[in-house]
Amino acid sequence: TCVCFDSEGFFYSEKKRTPASSRFGRDQALGVLLNLDTKSPNTNTVSLFCNGTRISEPMPLPEKLKGEVLYPHVAYRNVSLQVNFGPFPMAKMPFKCRMIQEAASMDVKEVKVEKPKDGKYEVLFPVAFPDEGTFDWLDAFLEKNPKYVELSDRKILDWAVKSGIWKPKGNSWRASNDKPEYNFGLQFMDDFSIRRCLNAVTSVVPRHYIVMEVKQNLTQAERKSNLKRFSSPHFKKIAHVVIGDPPKEYKAVVQQKLLEEKQAKAEVDWKMRKLEKERKKVVAQRQKEIAEQKAKLEAKKREEEEAKKKEAGEEGEKEDGEQKEGEEKKEDKMETDEKEKEEEKKEEAAEEKEDLDVDEPMPQAELTEEEKKLNFK
């Protein structure tokens, strides 16, 4: 989860872009103010300043970020960036605020790097077959072992998207966790230059790594090439085999995820049916109102025609004939009204039945016998 301002004037939070500030560009001193003062009406917000002037309203932090450790980050391209970690701001501010060096101790978390007792950092190479839940296993492993850093193409893709790089939607049928399509429209991303750069950095930076390459870890030549990258004496290379029948705990997690996905799909379908029935009900009600208005207009038109005939002062016999004709019309109208009332009752009964259908309980998904036998998603 992250929040950020982009150069187009948008604020990015919880996968939503909201217009928040004026645009900014080259030759400007920018600053992001993080307000953690509990006495301030703008506590737990971030604001953007340009050359010492506020250019955005205070934007709230998501609930999941409040009280958590936040890491400043800048994503940029085609410009030179000068970063200020000094004690004074580069532009005069309308108020006094602390720079990072002067941050209160209660607002800063110091993390000491824990070195292994033997001085060697582990580099895991999972060995697994394709389409056997390898990345589901990886997610569970990283959740239990957060000290490991994942090295994979999907992690690079996730990092780029979270950094604000726009990615058009590609062909979902060609999607792959092992080798996803980047398709950013940026040369050094799409030609995997970024991967080569990270490979060069990680080979000299001591960390616990997990090299998640399904195909490369299965083939001898590519596996040998990856092992050479971590030839430094402070690395300890370990093969982690993830092949065969998974343990019961893993199967239970997979079954639970399958059930949750099936339940979510069933709820979406149920809501769509409910919305469609409500839409049909609104349309039927509107058609009924239009028919009633039309009937009223026709009745009013007939009354006006009869009134005009009476004012004309026609002969008695003719009037008697018209009177009889009018009575016959009234009888016909009464019969028509009765039929319309019967039809309305039928429509109301049908609508009541439809309302009962709309109020159907939310479905509860269950796994089929075949799904219960699945070991992987």
Rounded to whole angstroms, the Cα distance separating 339 from 344 reads 9
Residue with tokens 């019961």: 248
Q: Which is nearest to 131 in space by CA: 259, 211, 218? A: 218
Q: Roughly how many angstroms between the first and final C-alpha of the chain, as a whole number?
A: 25
Q: How far is CA 210 from the centre of its chain?
A: 28
Q: Which is nearest to 101 in space by CA: 82, 90, 88? A: 88
Helices (H) and strands (E) in the chain, counts: 9, 11
How confident is the prediction along the chain (377 residues), in pLDDT tens digits per residue?
A: 789 999 999 998 988 889 999 999 888 999 999 998 888 899 999 999 999 999 999 999 999 998 888 888 888 877 888 888 888 888 888 888 888 877 777 777 877 778 888 889 999 999 988 877 788 889 889 999 999 999 998 898 888 877 777 766 655 445 677 778 777 777 878 888 888 889 899 999 999 999 998 888 888 889 888 899 999 999 999 998 888 777 788 788 888 888 888 888 988 888 898 889 889 989 988 998 898 898 888 888 888 888 887 777 655 555 555 555 555 555 565 666 666 666 666 666 665 555 545 567 888 888 787 777 776 66
Answer whether 0.85 is exceeded by the pTM. no
Q: How many residues are recorded in the chain?
A: 377
Contact 377, 259 (CB under 8 A): no
- 123 φ/ψ angles, rounded to the nearest 5 degrees: -120, 105
Q: Which is nearest to 129 in space by CA: 182, 173, 178, 195? A: 178
Q: Which is nearest to 226 in space by CA: 183, 269, 196, 261? A: 196
User: Which residues 6+ apart lie within 8 Å of 262 measured at CB?
Assistant: 365, 366, 367, 371
Which pLDDT score, from 0 to 100, does residue 328 have?
Answer: 57
Domain boundaries, the chain: 1-107, 121-244, 247-287+343-377
Which pLDDT score, from 0 to 100, does residue 169 have?
Answer: 67
Which pLDDT score, from 0 to 100, does residue 344 have?
Answer: 66
Instruction: Determine the topology of domain 121-244 in CATH.
Output: Rossmann fold (3.40.50)
Burial of 71 per CB tally in 10 Å (0-12, 13-18, 19+): exposed
User: Which residues 6+ apart lie within 8 Å of 208 measured at CB?
Assistant: 121, 122, 123, 147, 148, 149
